[in-house]
């Protein structure tokens, strides 16, 4: 059988959900059947290119594409050159910039193109909103769109993407990476729980980290032994640091930025809290559950696919900080509840959200497109 050759294309904005998704897929493919090259744009000295730097050599070759400004259409020709030189069968894009540039390269080169939407930004400026609108409009011209959640499937319908082109492939987390990072017992196997509340992710408005800081401050005033660790960065970081500095809990809050040992730190959390207003199916939440850390979050679409209240985590109505405080308090004060939530969360990820399962479904999708030129049926479905 001929080896399938895929080009993953992303314009990295950090090392967050989409970038980690690309890495998880690469770590779980069978390279006897499929090679996944990676193309990333190089947009300046301050850009985080971790995804390219840690990309597994066995998965495929990494290509760096110089890019000037927000959009540089010279990247299209660079992609075409890679497609020709590497014998690429399918280009797989992630994000509105890569969707626009990748689609143009696919059409110019005469190969199949697939996009995976990872979610959409909330409030943005007019210029960025225009680019995003162009990117989402172009999705209807792809050979296939593979959203990560049912909510994103519905978004595709609203955006005019033909239903026959939509294939729902559920998001997955790389259990091999997680298990390798945990040297001791899973948190769900602990007899005692520590006092560290944690968060990993971007520090941007839709993540609602300001609410998390307020919630932690209330919990800290009840229990001064608590500490809060925040991993990640973003446009709101300085504003959030200022807010934290004015709270009674200021000395107990750590902004750790990007960390290569995030999974080791995550495994030491007593509780993972997510206060987002908009998500697909969040990778950071899946990672916390896979590590075996109990989770508490606002009840929003996507998150509710992972958390069943009282079983795999605790949910509070979006924006209801008092309810979120109560949920956190229950977990922190009840080790039996914490252990039950942690064990159930890990089991859920193992059974339904592994990257190994996800990689098999993408291979099947790519093969189907190459064999028939289009998807076999007219309704979005899950392949596993």
Structure tokens at 107: 């059409």
* Predicted confidence (pLDDT) at residue 149 exceeds the cutoff of 90: no
Rg, C-alpha atoms of the chain: 21
Residue 182 has pLDDT above 80, yes or no: no
Instruction: Decide if 4-172+354-372 and 175-352 have a common fold.
Output: yes
- Side-chain half-sphere exposure of 365, counting CA atoms within 13 A: 31
| Nearest CA-CA partner of 196 in 226, 220, 221 | 226
pTM of the model: 0.72
pLDDT classification of 181: cutoffs 50, 70, 90: confident
Is the distance from CB of 203 to CB of 209 less than 8 angstroms? Answer: yes
Tell me the backbone φ, ψ of residue 210, rounded to 5 degrees: -60, -40
Per-residue confidence (pLDDT) for residue 382, from 0 to 100? 45
| Residue range 218-243, pLDDT digits in tens | 999 999 999 999 999 999 999 999 99
Question: What is the predicted pLDDT for the residue at 189?
Answer: 57
Per the prediction, the chain carries an average pLDDT of 90
pLDDT of residue 56: 96
Cα 320 to Cα 52: distance, rounded to the nearest angstrom: 39
Per-residue pLDDT of 68-116, as tens digits, reads 977 899 999 999 999 999 999 999 999 889 999 999 999 999 999 999 9
- Predicted pLDDT of residue 52: 97
Least confident of 133-137, 184-188, 357-361: 184-188
- At 344-380, the pLDDT tens digits run 999 999 989 999 999 999 999 999 999 976 776 544 4
Multiple choice CATH, 4-172+354-372, 3.30.365.10, 3.30.2130.10, 1.20.1260.10, 3.40.50.2000? 3.40.50.2000
The tally of CA atoms less than 13 A away on the side-chain side of residue 344 is 17
Q: Domain coordinates of the chain in residue numbers?
A: 4-172+354-372, 175-352
H runs (alpha helix) in the chain: 17-28, 50-53, 74-86, 96-109, 126-138, 150-158, 175-181, 209-222, 237-245, 262-266, 283-291, 303-306, 321-333, 335-352, 355-372
Q: Which residue has the higher pLDDT, 356 or 129?
A: 356
Residue 64, SS3?
strand
Residue 34: is its pLDDT beyond 90? yes
Percent of the chain residues topping a pLDDT of 90 = 71
Q: To which CATH superfamily is domain 175-352 assigned?
A: Glycogen Phosphorylase B; (3.40.50.2000)
């Amino acid at each position: 059988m001929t080896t399938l050759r895929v080009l993953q294309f992303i314009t990295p904005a950090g090392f967050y959900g989409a970038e980690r998704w690309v890495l998880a897929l690469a770590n779980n493919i069978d390279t006897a059947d499929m090679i996944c090259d990676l193309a990333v744009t190089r947009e300046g000295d301050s850009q985080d290119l971790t995804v390219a730097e840690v990309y597994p050599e066995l998965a495929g070759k990494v290509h760096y594409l110089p890019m000037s400004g927000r959009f540089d259409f010279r990247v299209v020709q660079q992609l075409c050159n890679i497609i020709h030189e590497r014998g690429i069968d399918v280009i797989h894009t992630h994000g509105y910039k890569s969707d626009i540039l990748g689609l143009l390269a696919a059409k110019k080169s005469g190969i199949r193109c697939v996009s995976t939407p990872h979610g959409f930004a909330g409030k943005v400026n007019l210029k960025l909103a225009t680019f995003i609108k162009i990117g989402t409009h172009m999705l209807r011209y792809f050979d296939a769109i593979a959203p990560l959640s049912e909510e994103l499937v519905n978004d595709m319908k609203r955006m005019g993407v033909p239903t026959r082109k939509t294939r729902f492939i559920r998001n997955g987390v790389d259990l091999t990476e997680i298990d390798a990072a945990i040297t001791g017992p899973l948190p769900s196997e602990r007899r005692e729980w520590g006092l560290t509340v944690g968060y990993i992710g971007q520090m941007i408005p839709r993540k609602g980290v300001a609410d998390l800081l307020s919630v932690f401050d209330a919990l800290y005033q009840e229990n001064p032994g608590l500490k809060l660790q925040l991993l990640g960065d973003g446009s709101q970081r300085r504003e959030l640091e200022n807010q934290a500095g004015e709270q009674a809990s200021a000395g107990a809050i750590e902004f750790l930025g990007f960390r290569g040992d995030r999974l080791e730190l995550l495994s030491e959390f007593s509780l993972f809290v997510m206060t987002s207003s908009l998500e697909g199916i969040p990778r950071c939440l899946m990672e916390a559950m896979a590590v075996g850390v109990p989770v508490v979050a606002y009840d929003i679409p996507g998150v509710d696919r992972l958390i069943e209240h009282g079983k795999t985590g605790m949910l509070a109505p979006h924006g209801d900080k008092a309810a979120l405080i109560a949920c956190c308090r229950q977990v922190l004060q009840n080790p039996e509840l914490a252990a039950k939530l942690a064990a159930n969360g890990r089991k859920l990820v193992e059974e339904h959200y592994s990257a190994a399962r996800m990689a098999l479904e993408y291979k099947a999708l790519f093969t189907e497109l190459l064999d028939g030129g289009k998807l076999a049926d007219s309704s979005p479905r899950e392949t596993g």
